Amino acid sequence: MLRKEGFLFMLFQDAILEFGFDCKVRKLSPKSINNYQKQLRYLQNYLEQEYRIKSVEQVRTAHIKMFLAMMDDRQRKPRYINDLLKAFKTFFNYLKREGHIKENPTTKVKNMKQPKTKILTFSEDEIRRLLNHFNGKSFLDIRNRAILAMFFDTGMRLTEVITLKPEQIHDEYILVHGKGSKERLVPVSPYLAKTLMKYRMAREAYFEDKLPEPYVFLSNRGKKLTQEAIAKFFNLSACHLFLYLLLNDTRDFFAHFLRFTLGDGIRIITEILNVLVVIGIVTGHRATYPHHTALGVGVIFADIHSLPPFCAWFLP
């Protein structure tokens, strides 16, 4: 705390620590908390260097706008700048709610306009070739094909697949631990169930004399896969198949690509067969499809199990 003219003011660094503790209490992921702290310290350093501001009560709307303008001058992407602003709004909303400040300096600050990004999906031929690329009988080929089938059939996020544990997989569904400690049920198609069974048998045989880590998908050393490891074998296979990468940072490229491909495929099938499938619940994007969330999960499972497995549409 900072004492000035008989009043106590909260130091910016103390406010960041208190906010971080609140995030832990709310069960935010360590990654989210670290991102918040990194973004807030960036603002803290700027305010101290440019305006000698040390307490949160001294921050004004103009200071926030000047910081964001500086980011724009440094040619940072609008999406990055808006992510910073989102973090600042969350931070100052917390401080106002706790009574540390009277006014939120970010209230009147608007997001920067972002260019619309066209999301591409795999073509049918690319899906078929990508799946058939891992047709071998080695542990890695069977594992990689199972990972691909998991992405295509469930639309799970990359981190959700990496952290998946055997006890989460059931006969007809997978219990997914998603973002923000949210859980959802994802149906397992007959094709995916068969692919996972083959992988489980290969996994048990491969690690027969070893004690692997308690995750479904493992490296050849029995360790949990990393994002970089999955990106590496996906990118190598993509180069082999002449699929062009359009993003600089490809760690999440394929996982997001597969999720949009899944959504696009299900949308086409629903139009043809007039079968309603709630994509938002399956892929964990409920807010994107608010008009669909009234249906129960049982209805979705029944609809999906009545359709051919997504991967099977593209296999010979």
Domains of the chain: 2-97 (1.10.150), 124-154+184-314 (1.10.443)
Name the CA dihedral angle for 307, 142, 228, 122, rounded to a multiple of 10 degrees: -40
User: In the chain, which ranges are E strands?
Assistant: 2-4, 7-9, 173-177, 183-187
Per mean pLDDT, which range of 23-32, 69-78, 178-187 is the poorest?
A: 178-187
Q: What average pLDDT does range 248-254 have in this prediction?
A: 44
Query: Burial, 102: exposed, middle or buried (Cβ in 10 Å; 0-12, 13-18, 19+)?
Result: exposed
**Does 126 have pLDDT greater than 80?**
no
- Contact by Cβ (8 Å): 172, 188: yes
**pLDDT, greater one: 38 or 286:** 38
**Does 49 have pLDDT greater than 50?**
yes
DSSP state, 103? Answer: S
Is the model's pTM score more than 0.75? no
Confidence of residue 84 (pLDDT cuts 50, 70, 90): very high
Confidence of residue 119 (pLDDT cuts 50, 70, 90): low
% of the chain beyond a pLDDT of 90: 53
238: Cβ contacts below 8 Å, ≥ 6 apart? 130, 245, 254
Spatial distance between the Cα atoms of 278 and 270, rounded to a whole number of angstroms: 10
Helix axes 61-73, 30-51, angle to 10 degrees: 100
**pLDDT, greater one: 18 or 312:** 18
pLDDT computed for residue 249 by the predictor: 41
